[in-house]
Amino acid sequence: MTLFIETASRVGGLLLFDPVQDQIFSQSWTADSSHSERITFELEELLKKSKRELSAIELLVVNIGPGSFTGIRVGLSFARSLSYMIGCKILSLNTLEVMAQVSPHHGKILVSLPAITGHHYVGGFIKTSDKIEEQLPPRSLSSKELEALMNDYDHLIDGKYLKSPTKVEDLFQFYRQKSRAFQKNSWNELMPLYLRRSQAEEKLSGGILKPLYEESGKCVEPNGQKQGGRS
């Protein structure tokens, strides 16, 4: 069996898929109470509902972000603990590729999620009827940088305007369609996709902070005058 874990968005979820019986069981909750408070309880309820044992889980599929920093951390910690305890592998998906996959669009798709004010989590994909390929790896961009990319894509999916966040059922749909190759990892190989840049980088890209050096290597003083090169 495969257990899907979604905690990167405000709607948490667990989904258990039994490929032998072709049965699906799921639990979901909102982040009114924190994911960490609910996820263990919801797993217990899921196992009761499905009449399955924890030891029967052979694979974990988890959303590694981007999304809520705390939510991602909860999901990954939960997946790592289960993987270590049961001895099963973990497969990671990211929010941006799942959003591209479940959208009705095909062609070159740019996906954006709001980050801090004036910045966005962005990924670019080429999607056909049976496959999705990453063209632009997930990254954090300023609004100006995102706007400059838009002309290179056929569609923009802006998470700010979506009626609902990514759900655990979306992870299941992505996995079942086998639209890209999947690499299974051990518990100690699972890494989050936070994407947050340092404040200095974000201020620099937004024009709030000016670079200390130009490409020529000349030091730029606050008054705009150029000094000698780097020592």
- Comparing 134 with 205, the larger pLDDT belongs to 134
Segments making up each domain of the chain, as ranges: 2-197, 198-231
End-to-end CA distance of the chain: 60
* Cβ atoms within 10 Å, residue 45: 14
User: pLDDT tens-digit profile of 47-64?
Assistant: 999 999 999 999 999 999
Can you read off the two tokens belonging to residue 121?
């989590």
Q: What is the pLDDT of residue 203?
A: 56
Among the residue ranges 62-76, 107-121, 203-217, the one predicted with the least confidence is: 203-217
User: Cβ distance 146 to 122 under 8 Å?
Assistant: yes
Rounded Cα distance between 73 and 165, Å, is 18
Rounded Cα distance between 10 and 13, Å, is 10
Question: Cα separations (Å) of 226 from 198, 220, 229?
Answer: 26, 5, 9
DSSP string, 11-76: EEEEEEEETTTTEEEEEEEETTS-HHHHHHHHHHHHHHHHT--GGG--EEEEE--SS-HHHHHHHH
pLDDT reading at 231 higher than 50 = no
With left for phi above 0 and alpha for psi between -120 and 50, is residue 194 left, alpha or beta? alpha
Rounded Cα distance between 158 and 181, Å, is 25
Can you read off the two tokens belonging to residue 82?
């289960």
Q: What is the pLDDT of residue 208?
A: 54
34: confidence class by pLDDT, cuts 50, 70, 90: confident
User: pLDDT tens-digit profile of 118-171?
Assistant: 899 999 999 998 899 999 999 999 999 999 999 999 999 999 888 888 999 999
Rounded Cα distance between 141 and 205, Å, is 8
User: Cβ distance 95 to 157 under 8 Å?
Assistant: no
Rounded Cα distance between 98 and 82, Å, is 23
User: Cβ distance 223 to 115 under 8 Å?
Assistant: no
Domain spanning 2-197: which CATH class is it, in words? alpha beta
